[in-house]
Amino acid sequence: MTDQASRPESDIPGKSTAASRTTLSHIMTGNDTNLLGTVHGGVIMKLVDDAAGAVAGRHSGGPAVTASMDEMVFLEPVRVGDLVHVRAQVNWTGRSSMEVGVRVMAERWNESTPAQQVGSAYLVFAAVDADGRPRPVPQVIPETERDRRRYQEAQIRRTHRLARRRAIKELREKRAAEGIED
């Protein structure tokens, strides 16, 4: 399921969601804690950005930079000794941008209980060339029903991001025209 109407034809062959999907695992230590004694949210966010960046670079075949992070959700605290698995995949692609979905799972390092989801995020990456200018990315090809659902949801998030950006720009222009300085 692709959005051919919004994508110009490209000589770059598409890639499946599985082609760049990855999992980054890390054991949490005392160096990762916040003042409450649990793992600092910023540590988790860095792992999320690292895994998403690897996926974006693999999918695009070169450098990709973080453009935005949407909906970083922390569901449960992560503790020292947890083995954290950060799973990421490309959900959607535009001309030079990609949405990467990330799921954060945690399990006790010394127990055989299943990992539980402790967080999730959506990040947008832009593929860039050596001069930092946007470059085209391969179209993502969803393979499963879950991948197709993620693709459709990513299109909704993109529509909302663009509408929010437009509304804020219009508000700022209106306030400036009225002489209201921020």
61: left (phi over 0), alpha (psi -120 to 50) or beta: left
What is the pLDDT, as a whole number, of residue 9? Answer: 52
User: Residue 150: what residue type?
Assistant: R
Spatial neighbors of 20 by CB under 8 A, at least 6 apart, are: 55, 56, 58, 59, 89, 90
pLDDT at 182 over 80: no
Please give the share of the chain, as a percent, with pLDDT higher than 90. Answer: 87
User: Residue 33: what residue type?
Assistant: T
C-beta neighbour count of 110 within 10 angstroms: 7
pTM of structure: 0.88
Contact 103, 48 (CB under 8 A): no
pLDDT at 137 over 80: yes
What tens digit of pLDDT does each residue of 39-65 get? Answer: 999 999 999 999 999 999 999 999 999
Alpha-carbon distance of 133 to 142, in angstroms, equals 27
Q: DSSP per residue over 152-174, as a string?
A: HHHHHHHHHHHHHHHHHHHHHHH
Q: Chain-wide mean pLDDT for the chain?
A: 93
